[in-house]
Amino acid sequence: MTRKINCWEYMGCGREPGGRHAADKGICPAAVDRSHDGTNEGTCAGRFCWAVAGTLCHNRVQGTYAGKQEDCLDCEFYLQVRAEQGSTNIRTKFLKFIHPFAASPILNHLEPVQIPGGARFITQGSRTSTGYIIQQGACLELVENEHGLHPVGHRSEGDVVGMISLLTGEPMGFHVEAETDLEAWAIHKPDFDRIPEQDPDLYAFLTELVADRFDRNGPIAERRIGPYLITDIIGKGGYSIVYKAVHLDLETPVAVKMLRHHLSMNKEFKDNFKNEARIIAGLDHPHILKVYDITSRFKTVFIACEYLTGLSLEEMITRQHRIPSDLARSFLDQLLSAMAYAGNKGLVHRDINPANIMVSKDHPIKLIDFGLACPVGTDDFMMGGNLHYLAPEVFDGEPADFRSDLFSLGITAFHTITGRLPWDAVDSGEIMKQIRHQPLPDPGKQVKHLPGSLRQFILKACEKNPDKRFQTPEEARKWLMNATDFGPDPVRRSGPVLLPGRYCCMSSGQHETRDALPGRHMDIAAATHIGHQRKTNQDRYLTCLENHSDPENHDFALLALADGMGGAIGGEIAADHVIKHLLGLSLQDDESPLNSLKRFYRKMDRDICDMADKDPYLNGMGTTLVCAVVSNNTVFWAHSGDSRLYLLHGDHLTRITRDQTLADFLIREKQITPDQAQTHYSRQVLEQYIGCGELAVQSGRFELAEDDMILLMSDGCYRHISLDTIITTCRQTTDPATAADALIKAALTEDGSDNITGVILTLRTDV
């Protein structure tokens, strides 16, 4: 989405904070008036400047909004904002309800009206009997108090005014005056009340109407639900719209869910829902979303609940493809604990699937929408979205119980560890047929080294006959806790992957991985280990041998090591992203490999920044990256962060890269010594990394001689073994795979508090 410019950017007045004329002419009030922040998608009053007194336009200080109104209505910037906001609203808001060819009872009651500019057509404190949809023109919302009139909002094409008062009978909190001549559609209260409640267009209209009230661009007074102030929209679904809000007294964030009117206006559902919601609000469990409040307003129901940060399990699976078995077991244990707690209160969830499971930064689980996702006794598949996870008996009209929830949990576990759903049909009828009659694919055949107990858990939970499943969450949890075959995923040896002209090995987050690539002129090996304390392995490596003209003679090599940062999920995503994109880096370009590497680093820096900007949970994520391209006996290298590249020539070990940490800067400034840096906090503070946004890439080249080795090492490896140990270990063997294994074991013995990774290339004596 294109960012909308503010008035000081359009006018070039330089009176914004830090602007070129802010010191001598003063800061423009529109640039600091936070009460209008977000109006017309602007910063402060940057796109509502005509309502702010004291602005500077055309080198003249303006008066009050009323005094400058005539000039502002002819301003090019004002007309541009009107055009931009009007086109947005027409596409997305209420004029879609009055399409000339639409057939809806709502349209039968709309009356075209014209309102002259300057006219006040809604009065503060009145209970209006007419609401308006603006077709052309704009109006101001003005609060009147003892100090006079104060603009608080702006409405233009596609917006509505007065409708909430029409719906609820509440008095208006402000005046509404036509800023320009208005053409609008009016609907009067008696006509509005005669629209049949079963009309689906009415449901959609009411939902859009109330959602418009909570638009971030609207006045604060309109964005309150009890003690909560709506600040942003989180998401929209088929049944609800979810907002981020803040409790005004406690100043704590909450999430507020507004049910869509096609559910809330069903009296039977609404009564059942509110009764059950009161029970759910009494639940207090660390793995169940906490519900704070339930209230009815605007002919619908609002639920205020705990505001969560993190990813849904569905998003996590999409990003990581599959979840390691020990982490999946941890998720299952937490979910079963939540289900057992709710079960003791007589509740079942009825909608367990990865989208309703939230994973926070350190992997605690929250089960959301507990009992809120569908009406009591209603089949979820009739409401869409979760068909793949439903138990077969639910399709036959049987009420949901613990066993059907456990079936859904079993399918969720299958999806979590395999990265795919067990049913491949697309048509709803075919999916139901497969769930009823097709055996569940054996997860042990989908995932190598899957613990037998996890395989048995999934198969038992997903039995077609409910009597053959676990009968309660307590039984399932106890069975899982007694399993003894869980632990870190075993060592993976992937073997080389053949790409066009290239043989590659790549790690992807396993607890322990080793790979070797023997070539004619050079040998490569890599190894990684999760260490003793980390829950995930955020280190990634890539090794490639290449020769486009003769695949048997590998004249080129690419080595890379990335160490993710910014939380387990963010670090893994960042490291995965750069390593996978390196697979497409050409090693035989017309230009120098250094130029290709530096261009790649800058592209990855932008990619990671963009990903973090789009997902607040990934804020701060990034990765180190050290790469080496070996062409015959020349090494071209690039580096960002604190992973390292070494050259071992004879018995002399030379560190090629410089750590881009605060400690390195302090050493160069002679504020600390290298010995002090070993324990100084600043060695953990990176000044440069992929994702920092202002990347300065280190790069260079050097020559190799026969029997030379180059080593790429993560900080979890080199920090805990001495240079003498590295030299001795590598010179005790000519096999880089043996040397890499020995270095990993040495780091594990000395510390093992971090992920440990090493990549080694040896130039053969026959070069």
Q: What is the pTM of this model?
A: 0.52
Using a 10 angstrom Cβ sphere, with 0-12 exposed, 13-18 middle and 19 or more buried, the burial of residue 529 is buried
Common-topology check for domains 93-225 and 311-481: no
pLDDT, position 375: 35
Rounded CA-CA distance 342/469 in Å is 19
Contact of 298 with 168, CB cutoff 8 Å: yes
pLDDT number for residue 377? 41
Which of 52, 50, 117 is closest to 81 using CA atoms?
50
The per-residue pLDDT for 260 is: 77
Counting every residue, how long is the chain?
A: 767
Q: What is the mean pLDDT of residues 19-23?
A: 83
C-alpha–C-alpha distance, residues 639 and 239, integer Å: 49
Residue with tokens 């029970």: 279
Condensed to tens digits (0 to 9), the pLDDT of residues 399-430 reads 888 999 999 999 999 999 999 999 888 888 88
Which architecture, in CATH terms, is 497-657+691-763? 4-Layer Sandwich (3.60)
**For 216-236, what is each residue's pLDDT tens digit?**
555 555 677 889 888 888 877
603 is in an annotated binding site: no
Give 500: exposed, middle or buried? Use CB within 10 Å, 0-12, 13-18, 19+. exposed
Select the more confidently predicted residue: 159 or 628: 628
Name the pLDDT band for 77 (thresholds 50, 70, 90): confident
What pLDDT does 98 receive?
A: 46
Please give the CATH number for the structural domain made up of 93-225.
Answer: 2.60.120.10
Does position 645 have pLDDT exceeding 90, yes or no?
yes
> Could you say which of 3.90.420.10, 3.10.129.10, 3.30.70.260, 1.10.510.10 is the CATH number of the domain covering 311-481?
1.10.510.10
* Amino acid letter, 227: P
Domain residue limits, the chain:
7-85, 93-225, 311-481, 497-657+691-763
Residue 721 has pLDDT above 90, yes or no: yes
